[in-house]
Amino acid sequence: MSTGLVVLGLKEGGVDYAYDEYNKDLITPEMKAKVDEAKQKIINGEIVVHDYMSDNTCPVK
């Protein structure tokens, strides 16, 4: 194993949203489908998420 900073995002499985027995009754199939669609677009590069670590800023749109 190497040392240093390792950044893992959606594509690498390092970050995701929680969908479990505690919240599944609050989330409709349509809501889950929209979130999964957005997640895939982020992974594919269709939606670009700002990397805070690149410039230590959090732009608000």
From CA 48, how far away is CA 34, in angstroms rounded?
Answer: 17
Separation of alpha carbons 39 and 11, rounded Å: 9
- DSSP secondary structure letter of residue 52: H
pTM, two decimals, is: 0.74
Domain boundaries, the chain: 12-61
For residue 60, pLDDT beyond 80: no
CB 39 within 8 A of CB 48: no
Model confidence pLDDT, tens digit, residues 4-57: 988 888 999 999 989 999 999 999 999 999 999 999 999 999 999 888 888 888
Q: How far apart are CA 31 and CA 37, in angstroms?
A: 10
List all residues 6 or more positions away from 38 whose beta carbon is below 8 Å from its beta carbon: 47
